[in-house]
Structure 1
Amino acid sequence: MAFEKEVKIRNKTGMHAKPAADFVKKVNQYSPAVSVSFEGKEVNAKDVMALMGLGVAKGNQITIKAEGDNAKTIVEEIIAFVENDMVKNDY
Structure 2
Amino acid sequence: MAFEKDVKIKNKTGMHAKPAADFVKKVNKYSSKISVIFEGKEVNAKDVMAVMGLGVAKGNQITIKAEGDNAKTAVEEIIDFVKNDMVTNDY
Does the residue aligned with 2:15 lie in a helix, a strand or coil?
coil
Aligned to 2:31: 31
**Matched residue count:** 91
Give the superposed CA RMSD: 0.4
Structural mapping, 1:16-55, within 5 Å: 16-55=16-55
- Which residue of structure 2 aligns with residue 14 of structure 1? 14
**Displacement, 1:70?**
1.5
- Alpha-carbon contact 2:6-2:62 (below 8 Å) kept: yes
Structure 2 equivalent of residue 69 of structure 1: 69
TM-score (norm 2): 0.99
C-alpha displacement of 1:19:
0.1
Counterpart position of 2:79 = 79
Deviation at 1:69, TM superposition (A): 1.8
Offset at residue 3 of structure 1 (A): 0.1
SS of the equivalent of 1:30 reads: coil
Letter in 2 for 1:42: E
Task: List, as ranges, runs of 4+ consecutive aligned residues in structure 1 with deviation greater than 6 Å.
Answer: none
Q: Is the 8 A contact 2:9 2:58 kept in 1?
A: yes
CA contact (8 A) 2:28 2:46 kept: yes
Structure 2, gaps ≥5 residues long: none
How many Å separate the matches in 2 of 1:31 and 1:70?
A: 8
Unaligned runs of 5+ in 1: none
SS in 1 for 2:35: strand
TM-score with structure 1 setting the length = 0.99
Residue 19 of structure 1 aligns with an amino acid whose one-letter code is P
Other-structure match for 2:2: 2
